[in-house]
Amino acid sequence: MLHLVEPLCFDMDDTKLKRAGLDYHDLAHVKVHPNLDSALDAVPGNVYAFTGHTSNMYTDVHYESDDGLMFGPEPTGLPEWAMDHPRVTERVRIHMVENIRSLNLANSASIALYEAWRQLGFPGGV
């Protein structure tokens, strides 16, 4: 499930957005929430906040199938108040090369999701 928090910086009905999803839009389960509390209330498991401002590595987490992975907007990342939310279990980071600004949001989410999926034994995979 993909949980998005308003305000969104794009239109969910945008044809470019649908085209970017290619043939997978029918597999996507997306829920738009009016605020962070609503989104985090919908996650039954642990919530991991991805940030460059911690030494805890995402690969050291033992992910469960009901956990949530939280990412912020590309230019700024998660704000401090979001990472301090009581539902956030831990702040984690993705390994980076020194002096590199950051990975983009899509790459970061892909890396993190793939690691969680790997740990869970690739359910539904082929």
Q: Tell me the binding residues for S-adenosyl-L-methionine.
A: 72, 94, 102
Percentage helix, strand, coil for the chain under 3-state DSSP, each rounded to 5 = 30, 15, 55
Instruction: Identify the three-state secondary structure at position 119.
Output: helix
**pLDDT tens digit sequence for 49-87:** 999 999 999 999 999 999 999 999 888 899 999 999 999
What pTM does this model have?
A: 0.89
**pLDDT tens digit sequence for 85-111:** 999 999 999 998 888 877 889 899 999
Average pLDDT over residues 42-48: 98
What are the structural domains of the chain? 1-35 (no CATH), 43-125 (3.40.1280.10)
Residue pair 2/31 in contact (Cβ under 8 Å)? The answer is: yes
Q: At 92, list the tokens.
A: 């984690």
Q: Tell me the binding residues.
A: 72, 94, 102
Peptide bond into 86 cis (omega under 30): no
